Structure 1
Amino acid sequence: MAYRPTWQGHLKLSLVTCPVALYTAISSGGDVHFNLINPKTNNRIKMITTDPDTGPIDRSELVKGYEVSKGEYILLSNEEIASVKLESTKTIDIERFVAGGEIDRLYWDHPYFLAPDGKLAQEAFGVIRTAMEKSGQIALARVVIGTRERILALEPRDKGILAYTIRTDAEVRKPDEIFAGISDKAADANMIAIAEKIIEQQEGPFDPSRFVDRYEEALKALIEDKKKGHTPAKVAEPEDTNVVDLMAALRASLNAKGKGAAKDEPNSKAKAAKPATAKPRARKAG
């Protein structure tokens, strides 16, 4: 299957350039997509572009408008928007190299694969890619994708380059805006000890094949049931853990994970040798 590039242009490191193509690294897979249906007629609803004064209008006649005040717009044609020329519209110009650990994971956004565009580009691409690999650092560059200039983080991956769009500082909320209301009170040490044991039981390598979209799978199962005329069963909502029963819930979780570990972990025999439960140390009086 031939993949279509999202963007085509040049990769530039100082005075070295080569034609490259940017491909999205993720796919929608088998996502379930819905259409709006009129249940009375079973017809799919069509969205008609309408002007409140003149009625329906062809989308090809429309232009983009920026609202400068209520009801007042600056109109821009596609040609006028395309006339905004930045070097990053056609060039991924590497500006800086940084250690990967310096980029907060909050800023990582969408992954792409960057590859040479044509056989003649492969030599220069290979030089840039290999030099990046030897540096052990992440390259930061700019590119215009769609109508937005984005920061790209570039790092070697296999024979090509993995490119991630990086969110701007204005896009990322400050954690204190959300976390400020969390209590500073320290958690119970005995409960933490049990929770650590539960974490230890669930340790293992990252295997992406084990993580499927269960909601998508459940939707597909629901659709199959409906096709067969079955009535879907209702699923009960999970109850919040009662603070009074938190210790009991932690101990029950520890026991449950201990019993199920052999099914999930191939090397669970070594872990099974450990005690299934850990009694918390008694607090000293006073």
Structure 2
Amino acid sequence: MAPRANWKGFLRLSLVTCPVALYPATSDTEKVSFNQVNRKTGHRIKYAKVDAETGEEVAAEDIMKGYKVDTNTYIEVTKDELDDIALESTRTIEIDEFVPKADIDSRYLIRPYYLVPDGKVGHDAFAVIRETIRNMNKVAIGRVVLTNREHIIALEPLGKGLMGTLLRYPYEVRDEKEYFDDVQEVKITKDMLDLAKHIVEQKSADFDPEEFDDRYETALIDLINQKRNGLPVAKAAPKSTGNVINLMDALKRSLANEKQAPAPAKAKGKKPKKRVEGQREMLLPIAGSGSGTSKRAAKEEPKKAEKPVRAPARTKKAG
């Protein structure tokens, strides 16, 4: 099943326009998630919208948007009023400028999207815009409205399409001086820097996200599989505090440990790694369960079962 676009509209560079669709480039749907459950009944917890003063539940048609002025005073803003101030970027991403990628501070990056032609028309105009950005070796800056908010979006070529990254506004980025002012100025010896440099060289490798292992996610899946099949859950060993007494000694010991460890694999010439299975493949069926599903794990040795069919990933609306 094809993913659902978060936004559809037009991409425009001066007089060149083409219909496009925006898709999220990342997803959290494969991560293990939990529901809140009533311990006494085993039922899920339901949240209701209630009046803060009366405690009575409020119907959806009686709920309005309000901006808080003081403790008990709100300014009502209606949907029609919000529609009246809607910007052109609700339907069009207009490229305003081109900037060097190195000029974009990483603190301003929010999340990536894929931008592709929408439908069978406009592929030539899309290609012209994409290749212009590629040939200039710059990033195109435009604006897009998602969930009623206008965002700055940075566009750059990615294969046959474009990757659009939402950017924060300056008021959303905190000044680092508020946090760094109390960092002490210390004198570091050349020997310490040399030792640290050797450690970095020992641990250097090519960037390969396929090597990343979400150990907490794996531990969650193991825990759930053990519990649903009635197996005892082993307690983790106490963690070492790893107190550092002498910085130079710690650097020397670190370097010695790194020399003993196998060198990181280089990406060049490596065979592509298979995609890590998502939680739906890794979660096992309850042992001994038949046509019905027991609420509690069956307390018997788990049987080897086929992996459940993976459900299609859900797509959340951008925000």
Q: Paired residue for 1:69?
A: 70
CA-CA distance at 1:150 after TM superposition: 0.7
Provide, for residues 137-165 of structure 1, a one-character-per-residue CA deviation record: whole Å limited to 9, x for no partner: 11111111112111111111101111101
CA distance 1:176–1:44, shift in 2 (3 Å): same
Q: How does 1:1-286 map to 2 (within 5 A)?
A: 1-51=1-51, 52-53=53-54, 55-227=56-228, 228-242=230-244, 244-262=245-263, 264-265=264-265
CA-CA distance at 1:78 after TM superposition: 2.8
Provide, for residues 32-76 of structure 1, a one-character-per-residue CA deviation record: whole Å limited to 9, x for no partner: 111111212222111121123261122343121111222111222
Q: Is the 8 A contact 1:225 1:232 kept in 2?
A: no
CA distance 1:67–1:250, shift in 2 (3 Å): same
CA-CA distance at 1:265 after TM superposition: 2.8
Between the aligned partners of 1:208 and 1:117, the Cα distance in structure 2 is 30
Q: Is the 8 A contact 2:205 2:266 kept in 1?
A: no
Q: What's the secondary structure of 1:23's corresponding residue? A: strand
Q: Paired residue for 1:276?
A: none
Taking structure 1 as the reference length, the TM-score comes to 0.87
Between the aligned partners of 1:240 and 1:90, the Cα distance in structure 2 is 55
Provide, for residues 77-108 of structure 1, a one-character-per-residue CA deviation record: whole Å limited to 9, x for no partner: 33332332211111101111111111111111
CA-CA distance at 1:240 after TM superposition: 4.8
Between the aligned partners of 1:240 and 1:168, the Cα distance in structure 2 is 40
Output the amino acid matched with 1:61.
D
CA distance 1:193–1:241, shift in 2 (3 Å): farther
Larger relative helix fraction:
1
Between the aligned partners of 1:253 and 1:92, the Cα distance in structure 2 is 51
Q: What's the secondary structure of 1:212's corresponding residue? A: coil
CA-CA distance at 1:241 after TM superposition: 3.2
Between the aligned partners of 1:39 and 1:232, the Cα distance in structure 2 is 23
Between the aligned partners of 1:265 and 1:252, the Cα distance in structure 2 is 23
Output the amino acid matched with 1:152.
I
What is the number of residues matched between the two proteins?
A: 265
Output the amino acid matched with 2:241.
E
CA distance 1:79–1:33, shift in 2 (3 Å): farther
Larger relative strand fraction:
1
Provide, for residues 151-184 of structure 1, a one-character-per-residue CA deviation record: whole Å limited to 9, x for no partner: 1111111011111011111111122111111111
Q: Is the 8 A contact 1:201 1:261 kept in 2?
A: no
Output the amino acid matched with 1:100.
K
Between the aligned partners of 1:187 and 1:172, the Cα distance in structure 2 is 31
Taking structure 2 as the reference length, the TM-score comes to 0.78
Output the amino acid matched with 2:157.
P
Q: What's the secondary structure of 2:85's corresponding residue? A: coil
Between the aligned partners of 1:9 and 1:58, the Cα distance in structure 2 is 33
Q: Is the 8 A contact 1:222 1:232 kept in 2?
A: no
Between the aligned partners of 2:107 and 2:218, the Cα distance in structure 1 is 28
Which deviates more from structure 2 when the two are superposed, residues 36-45 or residues 196-205?
36-45
Q: Is the 8 A contact 1:111 1:164 kept in 2?
A: yes
Higher RCO, 1 vs 2 (CA within 8 Å, ≥6 residues apart): 2
CA-CA distance at 1:229 after TM superposition: 3.6
4+ residue segments displaced more than 6 Å:
none
Which deviates more from structure 2 when the two are superposed, residues 215-224 or residues 159-168?
215-224
Considering only aligned residues, what root-mean-square deviation do their CA atoms show, in Å?
1.8
Q: Paired residue for 2:309?
A: none
User: Structure 2 unaligned runs (5+)?
Assistant: 268-319
